[in-house]
Chains A and B, each alone.
Chain A
């Protein structure tokens, strides 16, 4: 399965794995096995790798815990102890007689970490900072790089641009609409020359002609939304109250507005006695005629 292995990093890992496999096989032979299934070897290799990795990880953790960057022997020892390994047996095991010697794995190049994209020039320390202090980080971590050009602030150009842009958008949009829908033409010979979107009658033509378009409506709302809200609110409440209690409404309507309790000032609007706001009466059960 080396086909997939193409990058140097992967090659490196594969070589190590192979060495581990050899080690496992040697140990098996040492223990008296004549042969082993591939899957068993793989499993053992995996276990071995995990074990070693864990030792490394743990040892590194211990060393970092003591604010160092390179693990020492004692870190490894503590690790092994922590993992439940009897360290004392190790020298004996290492010096056992029937051990097999394995050739060193072929030297493979450790993978190179790709260089960070250089941005700007690396800064040196200013004079007042001693040289032993850490260097500046890479410029890309702190340098602001503009991704757009300086906007043109000339009024004339701005207007010109806005106008052109709008016109282009409009033209493109209308052309698109004309291309995708029915059209009428002013010329018999060339129907595509000045395509007009076909006039389509609508069932309620006055709505679109009278109501402001959404675009316009937005700006309208911004100006007097508060006022409108007030009106609808009062109306709704007026309707509700009247429906709740039609009898009381009639009495109240006789009172002049000043007769309404001042504490209930908001109610003043609710006293509108308009016949069209009154509730619809239920028919009388007994018919007159």
Chain B
């Protein structure tokens, strides 16, 4: 185990916390926290807690004033090092800074010295009560305030606030032990304006007016031991909906959205039933709350007994496309309630188990609700994603072990960030981590069967719920924490199977497998000679040894073969069952028992093989490149019933642009029993094939007659039927086909006139009056089709683009786009999908040189105050503009927005993400944009500008890496101190000005000192006396000096809540928020 918490001398805290005031217009919170701590060791003289951003006014321990130090090394990662600009250095310093305050290792930003009068009491292991008064003013992280700028009271304006964060971020809004493994019970009190509702974890016991009757206090009690990161809060003038099926479930949404909430939540009870049934376990909390907020940090965030969602998930009954997405989000949130909130993780290294289980049961829900096809399609998608990521970026390690703490033991040297802490992870990596986790759970299921899997989950849950009902006892609550070890032990107890090798391969080790397959049929021996090679030298790959399943479809049926992949064997002989194909006119049995007639004329007459599949069940995390003849792919597409096989066949057929491929694809397109996503994929493949076959293509443009037959009027084939989307499969097909058709090109590499006119007609005759569903997604796709139809303009001498020299077809397209975009202002569509598509189209017009390239339109749509999807589309266009035009002004504009945007989460995070994906320049290429000022700005951004949001900081690191790489950016002048620092630095050179220090309060910013904590037995103790007394001494705290002095000043002159009246806002609605909590902490 990485963190042997067993011998950690532990605080046992009963905490209580009260926020006195929370004033929305000022965006501030005042409160106090009270923790009851049970020492588990003698000599407890210091207590370390996590706290960021909070201004702490006073700390008392058992009613005695206690001195404290507040020092946050992550505020500024590297100091005294203004010239250092290399990412290696930063990453290690950042890891060290995060380690220095890691609650799992017993550290924290806030160090409280227990008054010496109480030492005696501590030695007797009696409870200590720690009382902390604090305030938060305009917090940048942890709590997000949404205050629309309109007339009216705060409630009328729909102002609200909610907690957010990536991993353990609760320390941003109140002092606590911000660890998933520190459980305690809670009492929470929030005082808010009488028009507001405060929603938080646990049961609402009562709501009481304050004496002036202008405010209310919400009292919550959470009797189930819960870790601080799983505590959250949302306050706003919410509309309340009690679930009609489950009265203990309450939904909250912003004003005016109640009808949408009713519709969107009408389905939730089915998800509840599903999980409770498969887990044979009741939902662990006594109530559940869903809150829908604007400007959400993530779509879904789950906390103990409540989930915070983005308000954009709400939809009316007329919206088709959003419905499955919203249901998926609800299902994810609920799965995390069981695994993630109720059962928490023992340590960061065990995160994968929880993410894996919640992802896995979510998958089961998908299978049940959306069907096996959808499920298998999803698994394939996820598998493709993880494989692509790992092959490109190197491995994703689920269960890292950190030996001795030496830098060279870094398990993931290929990454530019450390995976030691969740806070140093790149967001993409974390998403892939979750993806891999649930895929591995599925692999375990394949090994031990689903029944055992569910039994294991049930066992874990029942142990945890037994433990949760216990009063605080020394080790009982640890059942509520899940570790890799405990999980594996449970699996082996329940199933009796050894899954060690599987774990070793996919969990303890990163990377995926890459197979290349080819075959030959030996007619004499009637044997299939299969060759499976592996690439295990490229980054992100590993060597696979073990069983692999191969399915061969022969004339006489489908046969599974288990092959053993061994060290040196490449070839495998598989005997064939079908002797010959003499047996005429016999139906061919498929894998699923179905028997079908096939036209076998395309086959090789000597071979009985129809198609071959390697690892059809996706029981290895792999990429397979398999070679078989085109007719075999065509048979596979037509007759194999597994959607994964069909999708593989479609991607393979892209390489075979022949009439039979065309026919196979067209047949699939028409076949209504076929899974709609396969048919959609077939559209795009057909377009590609048609383009490759351009010279020999006969008949009307691909898909045109098909579309006409399916969706146009019988009497007038050029007019599309009035919309009726009651059949969702054909709706999705109707949406996709024009988009794919627009990709067709003629000999001049232009979109054929027929096709363009056809699409324009679709737009013209689109009639939704009789439809029960909204057609906004369909119209958006039609604009998408127009965009796809655009081809580069023929430009002569780089002339300036004017209206007059606009090509006639482009003029038609532009007219439609203008009209759509303008109509959207008058009749906005759901999620403004039309605007989003129009912006994309306009950027495409600019990029292709039809209209002048100009960012101003996008800038106006990117401003705060537009719907988030619109902003993202506009920002995407701007990022693209920045890259294409190499515009430093736009880059600067984007970076300013990253730093100043009021709705930071999606747009800020997304800007950095988009800049990484579509970078203005990269480390390999020189660019005029790459200059010292930019380096400094980005460095500052990640070093200190993003300290309020872990995720944003990692995004900044990613961007820095994308632009400059790991080493010192080449555009910088050589550092004065010489090159010593550059390459070997992380191993060889200690920063001479800083000596490694022990203890939580100090920041160790020399890379070499990482892991020293692990080597010393006592450093993990949050409250041991083995620290030198001088640790409290200011002199040894050599970083963030200014910050500490600032707080020392505060100490000398305790502020009062009313003392800081520097606000500029009018205090019309003082929404005082009170909360009070009691927390019993174990270890």
Instruction: Give A residues with C-beta under 8 Å from B.
Output: 155-156, 159-160, 162-163, 167, 170-171, 173-174, 177-178, 184, 186-190, 193-199, 201-213, 215-216, 219-220, 223-224, 228, 231, 235, 272-278, 280-283
Asked whether any CB of chain A lies closer than 8 Å to the CB of B404, the reply is no
Given known A-B contacts A187-B852, A199-B860, A209-B832, A228 and B204 have beta carbons under 8 A apart: no
Chain A contacts for B315, CB-based, 8 A: 210
Chain B contacts for A283, CB-based, 8 A: 208-211, 213
Given known A-B contacts A186-B842, A197-B825, A209-B832, A276 and B716 have beta carbons under 8 A apart: no
Chain B interface category by residue count: 35 or more
> Nearest residue in B to A156 (C-beta to C-beta)?
B716
| Contact present for A272 and B822 (CB under 8 Å) | no
Q: Nearest Cβ distance between residue B401 and chain A, in whole angstroms? A: 45
**Can you give 22 contacting A-B residue pairs, CB < 8 Å?**
A156-B719, A159-B767, A160-B719, A170-B823, A174-B818, A186-B851, A187-B803, A194-B803, A195-B822, A196-B821, A199-B825, A202-B866, A204-B157, A204-B158, A205-B867, A211-B257, A231-B262, A272-B247, A274-B247, A280-B208, A282-B208, A283-B213
Chain A contacts for B713, CB-based, 8 A: 155-156, 159
Given known A-B contacts A196-B818, A213-B828, A224 and B317 have beta carbons under 8 A apart: yes
Interface residue from B259, B287, B828, B864 paired with A201 (Cβ < 8 Å): B864
Chain A contacts for B546, CB-based, 8 A: none
CA distance A174 to B821 in the complex (A): 9
CA distance A13 to B715 in the complex (A): 71
Chain A contacts for B194, CB-based, 8 A: 280
| Contact present for B312 and A276 (CB under 8 Å) | no
Chain B contacts for A272, CB-based, 8 A: 242, 247
Chain A contacts for B823, CB-based, 8 A: 170, 173-174
| Contact present for A215 and B260 (CB under 8 Å) | no
| Contact present for B716 and A159 (CB under 8 Å) | yes
Chain A contacts for B854, CB-based, 8 A: 186, 188
CA distance A201 to B764 in the complex (A): 29
Chain B contacts for A206, CB-based, 8 A: 254, 294, 311-312, 867-868
Chain B contacts for A224, CB-based, 8 A: 317
CA distance A174 to B834 in the complex (A): 15
Q: Nearest Cβ distance between residue A219 and chain B, in whole angstroms? A: 7
Given known A-B contacts A173-B826, A187-B801, A206-B311, A211 and B866 have beta carbons under 8 A apart: no
Q: Nearest Cβ distance between residue A183 and chain B, in whole angstroms? A: 9
CA distance A22 to B845 in the complex (A): 94
Contact with A along B836-865 (1 / 0, CB 8 A): 000000100100000110101100110111
> Nearest residue in A to B317 (C-beta to C-beta)?
A220
Asked whether any CB of chain A lies closer than 8 Å to the CB of B1016, the reply is no
> Nearest residue in B to A191 (C-beta to C-beta)?
B803
Chain A contacts for B257, CB-based, 8 A: 207, 210-211
> Nearest residue in A to B240 (C-beta to C-beta)?
A276
| Contact present for A216 and B774 (CB under 8 Å) | yes
Q: Nearest Cβ distance between residue B707 and chain A, in whole angstroms? A: 17
> Nearest residue in B to A214 (C-beta to C-beta)?
B827
| Contact present for A281 and B207 (CB under 8 Å) | yes
Nearest 9 CB-CB pairings of A with B: A201-B865, A174-B822, A275-B204, A203-B148, A209-B867, A156-B716, A193-B803, A203-B150, A190-B803
Chain A contacts for B818, CB-based, 8 A: 174, 194-196
Chain B contacts for A190, CB-based, 8 A: 802-803
Given contacts A174-B825, A276-B204, 16 further A-B contacts (CB under 8 A): A156-B719, A159-B716, A174-B819, A188-B852, A195-B818, A196-B821, A196-B822, A202-B866, A203-B148, A205-B867, A209-B869, A211-B260, A212-B316, A278-B207, A280-B207, A282-B209
CA distance A216 to B316 in the complex (A): 10
CA distance A275 to B242 in the complex (A): 10
| Contact present for A205 and B259 (CB under 8 Å) | no
Interface centre among A206, A208, A274, by most chain B C-beta atoms within 10 angstroms, is: A206
Q: Nearest Cβ distance between residue A93 and chain B, in whole angstroms? A: 85
Q: Nearest Cβ distance between residue A122 and chain B, in whole angstroms? A: 46
* Total A-B residue contacts, Cβ distance less than 8 Å: 189
Chain B contacts for A219, CB-based, 8 A: 772
> Nearest residue in A to B767 (C-beta to C-beta)?
A162
Asked whether any CB of chain A lies closer than 8 Å to the CB of B726, the reply is no
Asked whether any CB of chain A lies closer than 8 Å to the CB of B314, the reply is yes
| Contact present for A276 and B242 (CB under 8 Å) | yes
Given known A-B contacts A184-B856, A187-B852, A231-B262, A220 and B311 have beta carbons under 8 A apart: no
CA distance A282 to B240 in the complex (A): 21
Asked whether any CB of chain A lies closer than 8 Å to the CB of B831, the reply is yes
CA distance A221 to B292 in the complex (A): 24
Interface centre among A162, A193, A199, A207, by most chain B C-beta atoms within 10 angstroms, is: A199
CA distance A219 to B205 in the complex (A): 42
Q: Nearest Cβ distance between residue A205 and chain B, in whole angstroms? A: 4
Asked whether any CB of chain A lies closer than 8 Å to the CB of B619, the reply is no
Asked whether any CB of chain A lies closer than 8 Å to the CB of B933, the reply is no
Chain B contacts for A235, CB-based, 8 A: 242
> Nearest residue in B to A157 (C-beta to C-beta)?
B716
Asked whether any CB of chain A lies closer than 8 Å to the CB of B321, the reply is no
Q: Nearest Cβ distance between residue A216 and chain B, in whole angstroms? A: 6
Asked whether any CB of chain A lies closer than 8 Å to the CB of B206, the reply is yes
Interface centre among A190, A198, A204, A215, by most chain B C-beta atoms within 10 angstroms, is: A204
| Contact present for B208 and A281 (CB under 8 Å) | yes
CA distance A162 to B917 in the complex (A): 45
Given known A-B contacts A204-B148, A212-B774, A171 and B803 have beta carbons under 8 A apart: no
CA distance A186 to B832 in the complex (A): 20
Chain A contacts for B885, CB-based, 8 A: none
Given known A-B contacts A189-B803, A215-B827, A280-B208, A273 and B247 have beta carbons under 8 A apart: yes
> Nearest residue in A to B714 (C-beta to C-beta)?
A155
CA distance A177 to B863 in the complex (A): 22
| Contact present for B857 and A186 (CB under 8 Å) | yes
> Nearest residue in B to A185 (C-beta to C-beta)?
B857
CA distance A272 to B818 in the complex (A): 51
> Nearest residue in A to B314 (C-beta to C-beta)?
A210
> Nearest residue in B to A173 (C-beta to C-beta)?
B826
CA distance A212 to B257 in the complex (A): 10
Chain A contacts for B312, CB-based, 8 A: 206, 209-210
| Contact present for B819 and A275 (CB under 8 Å) | no
| Contact present for A189 and B802 (CB under 8 Å) | yes
CA distance A207 to B259 in the complex (A): 12
Interface residue from A188, A194, A204 paired with B150 (Cβ < 8 Å): A204
| Contact present for A281 and B206 (CB under 8 Å) | yes
Asked whether any CB of chain A lies closer than 8 Å to the CB of B244, the reply is yes
Chain A contacts for B815, CB-based, 8 A: 194
Q: Nearest Cβ distance between residue A156 and chain B, in whole angstroms? A: 4
| Contact present for B814 and A194 (CB under 8 Å) | yes
CA distance A209 to B827 in the complex (A): 10
| Contact present for A216 and B149 (CB under 8 Å) | no
Asked whether any CB of chain A lies closer than 8 Å to the CB of B675, the reply is no
| Contact present for A277 and B242 (CB under 8 Å) | yes
Q: Nearest Cβ distance between residue A3 and chain B, in whole angstroms? A: 58
> Nearest residue in B to A167 (C-beta to C-beta)?
B764
Contact with A along B538-570 (1 / 0, CB 8 A): 000000000000000000000000000000000
Asked whether any CB of chain A lies closer than 8 Å to the CB of B627, the reply is no
CA distance A189 to B806 in the complex (A): 13
Asked whether any CB of chain A lies closer than 8 Å to the CB of B830, the reply is yes
Interface residue from A195, A199, A274, A276 paired with B861 (Cβ < 8 Å): A199
Contact residues of B between 188 and 234, Cβ < 8 Å to A: 194, 197, 203-211, 213, 216
CA distance A187 to B244 in the complex (A): 55
CA distance A174 to B825 in the complex (A): 9
Chain B contacts for A213, CB-based, 8 A: 827-828
Interface residue from B158, B197, B870 paired with A276 (Cβ < 8 Å): B197
Asked whether any CB of chain A lies closer than 8 Å to the CB of B1055, the reply is no
Asked whether any CB of chain A lies closer than 8 Å to the CB of B695, the reply is no
Chain B contacts for A156, CB-based, 8 A: 713, 715-716, 719
CA distance A211 to B259 in the complex (A): 9
Chain B contacts for A171, CB-based, 8 A: 819
Asked whether any CB of chain A lies closer than 8 Å to the CB of B248, the reply is yes
CA distance A170 to B1077 in the complex (A): 58
Asked whether any CB of chain A lies closer than 8 Å to the CB of B250, the reply is yes
